[in-house]
Structure 1
Amino acid sequence: MADEMIITLENVNKVYDNETVLHDIDFEVERGKFYTLLGPSGCGKTTILRLIAGFTEASGGEIRINNERVNEVPPNKRKVNTVFQDYALFPHMNVYDNVAFGLSLKKLPKNEIQEKVKNALKLVQLSGYEKREIREMSGGQQQRVAIARAIVNEPEVLLLDEPLSALDLKLRTDMQYELREIQQRLGITFIFVTHDQEEALAMSDWIFVMNKGHIVQSGTPVDIYDEPINRFVADFIGESNIVPGKMIEDYRVGFVGKEFECADAGITPGEKIEIVIRPEDLELTSVEKGKLIVKVDTQLFRGVHYEIIGYDEDGNEWMVHSTKKADIGSEVGLYFNAEDIHVMRLGETEEEFDARLESYDE
């Protein structure tokens, strides 16, 4: 398994001006997959990228690439390339010269440079743009030039620091598909930094969710979305209804003054917990059929569904995503299944959380 790991960070921390911005980061990246570091601004995700690239020096711990320690290895000696948020293209050079820049520094033969640049531009669908000036290109085209310049050097790892953040919504969505397709075609390991949870869910094989210098949860997009470890992850990854509750017994919980069947076990009876139900898992129904009753307060049309906000008799807010319309001020029932209830233990570590999930399979 060690041979499959192209990058490993072990107990890595980083201190700036006596402030610790990364806390004992353990991080493994498998060859040929698409990884995303996801979290709010200032959580440490770009710092991890800079540590891997060699632009920043770790205050402690070990960084390995291909199982070799690289803490003291300069950036130009590491087999990684970076695509920055502002693309960092040379405005006085045309597309060809931008893409060929790194190869020219290596003093490769002219015909070899031409072949490599041609192949890289073809890969990012910019064949024929060789002589185009950078200032004449759209944001999406510039982003593709930056990717071509990175991949032409044949890195083992491509680091991408929020490269889509400056694009408009439609172009950003298009580029998500293109980036994922490029990664799969090349088989290069991608490590992508973003604060956009939809972007992370759409593109990644594996997500590291970060907060305040810690990796708080890691897993596949489905794992992260369906089984958030705590309130921060549940709130940050999509919309969530979160209410306090209590574990009654295995497969039975209590919240909002009622008891419900659930799919969780292995938690101490009577233990205080938090309950998560996603808005799309709540079904609008009649008051008689509802497991919960709420009074509709607001309703917004979101294109593919209505976003409905209601309050139960205890004042808890409930968000519902439904194709059905509700009447503001009316009482409606909310129906959900046992498996739609996700139980979060207070203060549970990721190791404890993973062990609990594995016990369900057993």
Structure 2
Amino acid sequence: MKKNIITFENVVKQYEDEKVLKNVSFEIEQGKFYTLLGPSGCGKTTILRILAGFVDATEGDIYFDGQRINDIPANKRQVNTVFQDYALFPHMNVFDNVAFGLKIKKMPKKEIEKKVKEALRMVQLPGYEVREISEMSGGQRQRVAIARAIVNEPKVLLLDEPLSALDLKLRTDMQYELRELQQRLGITFIFVTHDQEEALAMSDEIFVMNKGHIVQSGTPVDIYDEPINHFVADFVGESNIVNGTMIEDNLVEFVGKRFECVDGGMRQAEPVEIMLRPEDLTITTADKGKLVVTVDTQLFRGVHYEIICHDEDHNEWMVHSTRKATEGAKVGLFFEPEDIHVMRFNESEEDFDARLESYEE
């Protein structure tokens, strides 16, 4: 049974008049890949910096392996950080960059050589010891930064948007490599990004953040399929969101029509928001559709067409389809009851979980 290695309890971080973190609490389990996901300024990097010991929390407690670490300096914590710009020493070769922390600890020379070679092998850079940093690609530099971090054998590796400077193809390749490396090493990874596709692809668990709060946490499937509010639904993936009314369990009304759904546990006639993912909408003939819309524009995205339509109430609908549509044509949109996701206004994650449990019972 895996244990929690990190616990945040009601952590607040305030800079003058601005609260960057607002009573943040969470637990991190050993050996998993976690992602802090959210827009710029939401507080995700601040959490990383507090964990690393670079900044202090204004209020609250941080525990590492059961020990309170608020007052423990950065160099005494069993964490290492990979920064966005890699923070490599340009005047040192690969070996010296990776060995830097071990030399500071005054480790024996032979042991340093052994550990550096092993770390470079883990990041698929064997034989690169004498290579100059200036001679390496962005992806190779990132691997050197990771090797420098893991050579110290940390229990937790913190990664602050380390893929943001890479081109799309290399970024995708490095997502696979990072995920594979984490699983091979068994180290807890805490990864910061604003890229929701990156978070969905790599994580065991995601914490979605907004304005200093963790809005929702869960597996990538949970976050994508069951967003608890408008912000999460809109930020994670593409969404069609319209206002509606919960008539009763398994029956909802929106755009002037009633539809069967699979949601429940709400008040009768409660105002709600409705989400339908673009990939869950199928274009058909107007007489077979549950909604009738007019095709406005479409873009070819490679794996699908992104088709923008509007209904008679001027609601905009995005559809992802492998088939091309005709601009200006009236078409039907078909979807199943389980494709409709009903969201309450201002529902907390705790209330959402409790409602789900009571309804399923």
Distance 1:185 1:255 in 2: 48
How far has the Cα of 1:121 moved from its partner? 0.1
- Secondary structure of 1:158's partner? strand
Instruction: Summarize deviations over 1:40-97 as a string: whole Å, max 9, x none.
Output: 0000000000000000000000000001000000000000000000000000000000
How far has the Cα of 1:18 moved from its partner? 1.9
Match of 2:74 in 1: 75
8 Å contact from structure 2 (residues 216, 223) kept in 1: yes
Aligned residue identity for 1:321:
H
Match of 2:356 in 1: 357
Match of 2:114 in 1: 115
Distance 1:183 1:359 in 2: 36
8 Å contact from structure 2 (residues 9, 60) kept in 1: yes
Alignment of 1:255 with 2:267, yes or no, is no
Q: Which runs of 4+ in 1 moved over 3 A?
A: none
Distance 1:313 1:238 in 2: 25
Alignment of 1:100 with 2:109, yes or no, is no
8 Å contact from structure 2 (residues 8, 61) kept in 1: yes
Match of 1:340 in 2: 339
Match of 2:163 in 1: 164
Match of 2:36 in 1: 37
Distance 1:171 1:361 in 2: 43
**Length-normalised TM-score, structure 1:** 0.99
Distance 1:164 1:18 in 2: 32
Match of 2:217 in 1: 218
Aligned residue identity for 2:318:
M
Aligned residue identity for 1:184:
Q
Aligned residue identity for 2:227:
P
How far has the Cα of 1:359 moved from its partner? 2.7
- % identical aligned pairs: 75
Aligned residue identity for 1:346:
F
How far has the Cα of 1:360 moved from its partner? 3.9
* Runs of 5+ consecutive residues of structure 1 not aligned to the other structure: none
Distance 1:301 1:103 in 2: 51
Match of 1:62 in 2: 61
Match of 2:280 in 1: 281
How far has the Cα of 1:249 moved from its partner? 0.5
- Secondary structure of 1:129's partner? coil
How far has the Cα of 1:351 moved from its partner? 0.3
Instruction: Summarize deviations over 1:186-207 as a string: whole Å, max 9, x none.
Output: 0000000000000000000000
Alignment of 1:304 with 2:300, yes or no, is no
Instruction: Summarize deviations over 1:89-141 as a string: whole Å, max 9, x none.
Output: 00000000000000001111111000000000000000010000001000000
- Secondary structure of 1:263's partner? coil
Distance 2:159 2:314 in 1: 43
- Secondary structure of 2:331's partner? strand
- Secondary structure of 1:177's partner? helix
Instruction: Summarize deviations over 1:211-245 as a string: whole Å, max 9, x none.
Output: 01010000000000001111111110000000000
Distance 2:259 2:328 in 1: 27
Match of 1:239 in 2: 238
Distance 2:90 2:15 in 1: 33
Distance 2:168 2:327 in 1: 31
When the two chains are superposed, the root-mean-square deviation of aligned CA atoms in Å is: 0.8
- Secondary structure of 1:268's partner? coil
1:139-150 correspondence to structure 2 within 5 Å: 139-150=138-149
**Length-normalised TM-score, structure 2:** 0.99
Distance 1:189 1:244 in 2: 40
Aligned residue identity for 1:6:
I
Distance 1:361 1:176 in 2: 36
Match of 1:179 in 2: 178
Distance 1:35 1:99 in 2: 25
Say how many residue pairs are matched. Answer: 361
- Secondary structure of 2:197's partner? helix
Match of 2:10 in 1: 11
Aligned residue identity for 1:204:
S
- Secondary structure of 1:149's partner? helix
Distance 1:105 1:324 in 2: 60
- Secondary structure of 2:192's partner? strand
Distance 2:140 2:61 in 1: 37
Aligned residue identity for 2:151:
V
- Secondary structure of 1:22's partner? strand
Alignment of 1:322 with 2:321, yes or no, is yes
Instruction: Summarize deviations over 1:163-193 as a string: whole Å, max 9, x none.
Output: 0000000000000000000000000000000
Distance 1:79 1:347 in 2: 38
8 Å contact from structure 2 (residues 22, 212) kept in 1: yes
Distance 1:177 1:356 in 2: 36
Distance 1:14 1:276 in 2: 34
* Runs of 5+ consecutive residues of structure 2 not aligned to the other structure: none
